[in-house]
Structure 1
Amino acid sequence: MDPRDLKRILDALIAADVREFGLKTGEYELNVKRGPDGAPVVYGVPAPVQAPVSAPVSAPVAAPVPTPVSVPTANAEASAVPAAAASGTPVKAPIVGTFYAASSPEMPPFVKVGDRVEVGQVLCIIEAMKLMNEIESETAGTVKQILVKNAEPVEYGQTLFVIE
Structure 2
Amino acid sequence: MNAKELKSILQALQEHEVAELTLETPDYKLTVKRGGEVQYLAAPAPVVIEPQAVAPAAPAPVAASSPAPAPAQASAPVPAPKPEAPKEDTSKYVEVKAPIVGTFYRAPSPDAEPFVKEGDTVKKGQVLCIIEAMKLMNEIESEVSGVVRKILVSNGEPVEYGQVLFLIEPA
Give the TM-score taking structure 2 as reference length.
0.47
How does the TM-score come out when normalised to structure 1?
0.49
> Greater strand percent: which structure?
1
